[in-house]
Amino acid sequence: MWLGNLLGWREAAFVISMLLLIAWLDDMRGRADGVWPQGQRRSRAWLIFAWVLPVGNLFLPKMFVNDLWAAGQPAQRRKRGHPLLTVWWLAVIVAFGWSGAALGRVRETAYAGPAAAAMRQVMQSSGLFIVAAVLTIAVVWKLSGMLERTVASRIGDLPGAPPSATG
């Protein structure tokens, strides 16, 4: 019973986190469309489909974020992908894979010894989720800053734009 309650809270937290991440990605996509619309390889509908499409959910969200990353760079240095994005995405995939296997073992065990081993694996997966969460924060922080600076520099280049504080 307690495991079911715990999993319910965990799933609710996951759904809320995913909705917040999708809303943030939508905002970043709007900024990227203003800076480099031809660089976005997928339509905005893929913000949702990328996460739920079997097999596609292993690479489409990362592809989407790679496009946003490229839009946040100066035009002459645009490059999709970065080691931070790769490490982040691998951490997310490993955390979910490890967690799914661990929870499956917990549900299947009928004896204390195997259940304890399975619960240790669940706790390890929680550690992996913490690593993935910290990396997600780093990606959100870095990508938000990149796109904000890129958009601000483009606004400063427009005729009739107010002079910047720095020059």
Band the pLDDT of 167: cuts 50, 70, 90.
very low
Residues 135-166 have pLDDT tens digits of 999 999 999 999 999 988 887 765 655 555 54
In this structure, are residues 146 and 69 in contact, taking their beta carbons and an 8 Å threshold? Answer: yes
CA angle 70, 134, 5 (to 5 degrees): 125
Structure tokens at 154: 């483009």
Q: Is the pTM of this model over 0.85?
A: no
